Every structure is written in C-alpha cells, then in structure tokens.
Amino acid sequence: PSSRGRPQRYSDLAITTVLVIKRVFRLTLRAAQGFIDSIFSLMNVPLRCPDYSCVSRRAKSVNVSFKTSTRGEIAHLVIDSTGLKVFGEGEWKVKKHGQERRRIWRKLHLAVDSKTHEIICADLSLNNVTDSEAFPGLIRQTHRKIRSAAADGAYDTRLCHDELRRKKISALIPPRKGAGYWPGEYADRNRAVANQRMTGSNARWKWTTDYNRRSIAETAMYRVKQLFGGSLTLRDYDGQVAEAMALVRALNKMTKAGMPESVRIA
C-alpha cells in the first residue's frame, strides 16, 4: 500500500454502528463494547466489537451518514436548534448548591421535513455560533428542491434570507418587532413586515402562511432530548460531531419505522 501505518481493522460502518447503539441505549463507550460483545456471544457469532479506545479515536474522523432514501421535492422545511451539554454539573445540583464548575454546551441545528418528520440537514456547532450563522452551511447540505423554509425570529437576518433566495426557497421567518423594510429583493420578508405593521403583530401572518407547522421542528428537538438525553459524552469536538450525527441517524431510523398516530377523542 502507498500509505504508511497499520491498516484499519474495522470499517466506518462498524464504528458508526457502535456510536448509534451507544446513543440509543445511553451507554458509555466501555459499556457499549461489552453490550455488543455479549450480543455476539449469545448469537454464537465469531466477531468482536471494536475496542472503546478505537471507537473514541476513529470517531474523530468517521463520516456518520444520516440521510434517508426519501427523494423528491420538500414542501416545507422547518428549522430549529437546541443545546447539548458536554461538560458540567447537573441542573439539580446547580439549583441546590450553586454552580462551581464551568459548563460547556454544543448547539445541534436541525432541518426537518414537516411532512415525513425526517431530518434532512443536521449540524453541530460551538455554543457561541448563532443560529443565523449556522444556517447557510445547514441548508446547503441538501440539493433537493424545497418550496418553503420556516424558522423563528433568530433567523431574521440578511445572511439567512440571501441563502434562501439563492436556493429559490420561500422564506417563512417572522420579522422582529418594529422591523423595517429591506431594500432589494426581499419580497417575502417585506410582505411579513407590512402585515406586522397593519395588524400590530405577526399572528395573522403566521396563520395565513401556515407558519405554525414550524412546531414540528420543536417536536424533533423534544424527541432528541427524550429518546437520547441532552448531553454528549465524547470529549473531542470532532468526536462530538460524530456522536451527534449518530443520534440523528438513529432518530431517522426510528421515524422511518413509523410515527405514532394521534387521534382526537374529545
């Protein structure tokens, strides 16, 4: 071989699988290794799980794919973000005894198809990166045609609107209170501003544009926290990215298996 060093024994898929199992069952890497080895033993399969130190090292460079097989146009893409704790004390301890040590967070940014609930785009950033700064890189992850994209007021910036215009996506972003018109080709936003000035709020605009479907993004964030917890355990940032994408991969697999059906009973 042209490259030096010991050849890799485990494929990227093997490392990804360990990370997914780790997130689904909320295990440490050591526990995930033991869990997988026990399954192999029960099934009489002559395989061994990658060592936890190998997974920790490879997580820094592995590309965890979370894309689904769904194709075609996306009618409505909804965007939101949430914080994942990396290092720090529990909220109960802070409330009872005060904060003693520095807490570090990462921000998970998600773009969700409002019809299928599948996560189309995902990114992990440092906590000091604003939602609007992360938006262009997030939306560029997909080349599928998108009719409209809905996000909250934190995305009401020229950076976000310019990216949506470039991709020919209708912007459903409520302007901030007292917002002014923008000169140039910002028709979607200026219509929202005009509606705000006429009615005194964004309520009517949200109703007429069906903006409230953006709550599906908040539902996705709730599912993340409820199913997988609100923290990342790997210490290296690149490893945290892989861990977060494994989380997204697992959530998409669960969504593909079937979503609960809600029926009004009263």
Segment 234-245, tens digit of pLDDT:
989 999 999 999
**Does 69 reside within a domain?**
no
Residue 251 placed within a domain? no
Identify residue 60 by its one-letter amino acid code.
K
Q: For the chain, what is the mean pLDDT?
A: 90
pLDDT in tens, 128-175: 999 999 999 999 999 999 999 999 999 999 999 999 999 999 999 999
Check residue 92 and give its pLDDT. 52
**94 and 46 share a domain?**
no
Kindly state whether residue 142 falls inside one of the protein's structural domains: yes
Question: pTM to 2 decimals?
Answer: 0.87
Residue 154 resides in a domain:
yes
CATH of the domain at 184: 3.30.420
Does one domain contain both 93 and 210? yes
Residue 261 forms part of a structural domain: no
Domain assignment present for 253: no
162 in a structural domain: yes
Task: Give the total number of structural domains in the chain.
Answer: 2
Same domain, 199 and 144: yes
> Percentage of residues in the chain with pLDDT exceeding 70?
91
Same domain, 54 and 78: no
Residues 105-109: what's their mean pLDDT?
95
In angstroms, what CA-CA distances link 132 with 111, 121, 174? 13, 15, 14
Which domain covers residue 99, as residue numbers? 74-235
Tell whether 141 is covered by a domain: yes
